[in-house]
Every structure is written in C-alpha cells, then in structure tokens.
Structure 1
Amino acid sequence: MTRRYPDEPAGTFPAPPRQVTDREGRSIQLRRADATDRTALIEMYKQFDPADRAQGIPPARETAIERWLENILDTDRYNVVASHEGDLVGHATLVPDDDDGYELAIFVLSAYQGAGIGTELVETLLGHGQSEGIEQVWLTVERWNDPAIALYRKVGFETSNSERFEQEMAIRLA
C-alpha cells in the first residue's frame, strides 16, 4: 500500500528536553527516552488502564510489555517520555516502516489524560523526529476515538485513509 502524506510540511515542533505546565498545574518534563528508561516504562505500562489499550497495545502482561519495549527502544526508533515528580506518566514513539516513514504511537496514563500532556508529548516527539531528519510520520487511530483524532488534527495530521476499521492519519515534517 502506498501511504499518502500531505504535500506541505506542518511547521516546526519543539525538540526535547523541555518542561511544560499541564492544565492541572503540574510541572511535566519531556525528554528523549532510551534503554535506561526500560524499568520505569514497564512500571508505567503495568499501571495502564485496560480501557485505554487500542489495537492490542500496550500489551497487558509484564512479560509481553518487556518484549514489546525491546522493540520500541531499539536504536533506530525515537522515543520521548513525560514525567511528573520523577514518575513516567506518558510515552510516545516513532517506529520506522518499510517505506521511508515512521509510525507514531502515544500512551498517557489515565490520571494525566485531558490535561494537554498528549499534545505536548506528540509535538515534542515530532520535534525530536525533525531534529533527526525524519520527513514523514503516520498513525492509525480507532474511528470513535474523537479526543485522539482532535489532538492529531491540532498538531497538523491529516486523514490519509479512512476506509478501514481504523482511521489513518499522516503528517509531513520536512
């Protein structure tokens, strides 16, 4: 399948590290993640609300989370984490596909959803991607996930395919 991307780049995004204040007044640190974050990410994903899992990710069992993170934290992937008072509360990743693009996935603990952290996390991940020379990013989102679709549109994603169970969206960074 040939993926469609917008013709024009979306603009410039902020690169990590950065600190923001969410709508609840919490100080959130956004930074690049790496393999040293593995244990903290496992702990975050063990807390993840089953209702917030989509398309089978993140996995539910600890052993499956560990295997999944081995792939996500590999050297050719780009990851950003959000932390509050030392605890990880969000994670976003760009994983290369076979066609010169990167797939985006984002996860925010339910207690931190709706406070703007998802938007900051996506924008920071896209800024990280821009600094690394990534040009094209895409994602899939469940058609009924209106808050996520609104977030992606807000940062510049456009619908590229809506013929499936999920809606595919894409953005051009460069």
Structure 2
Amino acid sequence: MNGLATADNKWDGSAYTGSPCCPRFVDAEGDRWTLRPAGEHDLDRVVALYDDFGPADRSMGIPPATDHRRRSWIETLLAEGHNIVAEGAEGLVGHVVYTPAEDDRPELAVFVHPNRQNRGIGTELCAQAAAAAVDADRTALELHVDQRNRAAVAVYRRLGFEVVNADQTMQMALELDESVAATVCSSPAERS
C-alpha cells in the first residue's frame, strides 16, 4: 500500500488531512473506493466504464453513444482536463473531470456507473475535483445540467453550486472562495 498500511495491512489514513490528499472513500452502502487522478494511461479503463452507459444514462448527449465518438471524447478529456476516478476491486465506477484544466473557470462533468449511483460516489468525486481546482488556483467550476435531472441538481446545490442561467438546461457555478475551499478541502468524514 505504498507506505499507507498499518502493521496488520489495513489502510492508515492518519497522514491525510483532507481533499485532495485523502484518497479513500466509503460510500453510503459501506463499500470502499480509492479516488485518484487519472491520465492517458487509464484510457481503456475509462472507456470500459462508459461502455456500460445506456441511453437513459446519458445527459445532453454525453457520454457519446457510439464507440468511436465516446473513445475520442474520453481521449480529449484525459488530455485536456483534470481527471479523477473512483476505483474499487472490480474496476472504475466513477469519473469526474474539469476541463480545460488550465482555464480559470473550467467546466465540470461527473459520471457514476449506473449500478453504483445514489451512494455518494458522485458527490465525493465532485468534492475532490473542487478541492483539486482550489489547489490549482482556479476561481470557479461551471457546469451544465438538465433541469429534469433532479438528483444531480440536488448534489450540485449541496456542494454550493448556484444557478447562473436557466432555460432548458441549467448553468451552475461554484465560486471557489475561502468558505468553499474550507469545506471541500476537509476530509470526507468531516463533510458527511
């Protein structure tokens, strides 16, 4: 475990004070996940995650439905964005990205495997992305969400996103001020 294990080979989180340094997360059902940065070397694993998304799991055309467009979209995200994945014993279950990574106000997108939704994984991925954006001196994260996606809107509001513009899709922003930084940079247990 790269120096993070106790004598009995259990994970020791005592060295971690909060996001984006705390890589472990326990979801609402008690399953444990590692949240870690993802890069181009993860391409095939991220593609495999999105291969399980059906028409009902897509929002505003993403992830793309066809294999070649989906792969191209993921290649672009991994090359141009700041990516974090949630990983368990059976593989990747979630992916969050803000892109372009160097923009002052990049756009956020998060997806959780259809069989792992409503467990807090997406919320934790978003908090980790916000903490990484704070650490990278970004001023805000922005996103677009279908207003009918009430679960996603509720997650974003809980994290502090505010509506900037609303028509058929809702544009939301999270200003990364000191109060938001204090919240998202705390440990997952402190945010619960």
Using the size of structure 2 for normalisation, the TM-score is: 0.78
Larger radius of gyration: 2
Contact 1:142 1:165 in 2 (8 A): yes
Contact 1:17 1:29 in 2 (8 A): no
Which runs of 5 or more residues in structure 2 are unaligned? 1-17, 178-192
1:88-103 matches, cutoff 5 A: 88-96=92-100, 100-103=104-107
State the Cα RMSD in Å: 1.8
- CA 18–99 in structure 1, closer or farther in 2 if over 3 Å, else same: closer
1:111 partner amino acid: N
How much has 1:66 moved relative to structure 2?
A: 1.3
Q: Which structure exhibits the higher relative contact order, with contacts defined as CA atoms closer than 8 Å and separated by 6 or more residues?
A: 1
Residue of structure 2 in register with 1:150 after alignment: 154
Is 1:167 equivalent to 2:159 in the alignment?
A: no
Residue of structure 2 in register with 1:59 after alignment: 64
Contact 1:17 1:31 in 2 (8 A): no
Match of 2:48 among 20, 40, 43: 43
* Larger helix share, 1 or 2: 2
- CA 97–29 in structure 1, closer or farther in 2 if over 3 Å, else same: closer
Is 1:34 equivalent to 2:39 in the alignment?
A: yes
Which runs of 5 or more residues in structure 1 are unaligned? 1-12
- Deviations, residues 149-173 of structure 1 (Å, cap 9, x unaligned): 10001111011111x2101110111
Which secondary structure does the structure 2 equivalent of 1:73 belong to?
helix
Contact 1:20 1:29 in 2 (8 A): yes
Taking the aligned partners of 1:48 and 1:16, their CA distance within structure 2 comes to 29
- CA 130–91 in structure 1, closer or farther in 2 if over 3 Å, else same: same
- Deviations, residues 13-44 of structure 1 (Å, cap 9, x unaligned): 72155111101111011011111110001111
Contact 2:26 2:32 in 1 (8 A): yes
- Deviations, residues 76-128 of structure 1 (Å, cap 9, x unaligned): 41111011115001001101399731000000011110001011010011111
Taking the aligned partners of 1:77 and 1:152, their CA distance within structure 2 comes to 20
Using the size of structure 1 for normalisation, the TM-score is: 0.86
Q: How many positions carry a matched residue from both structures?
A: 160
- CA 80–17 in structure 1, closer or farther in 2 if over 3 Å, else same: farther
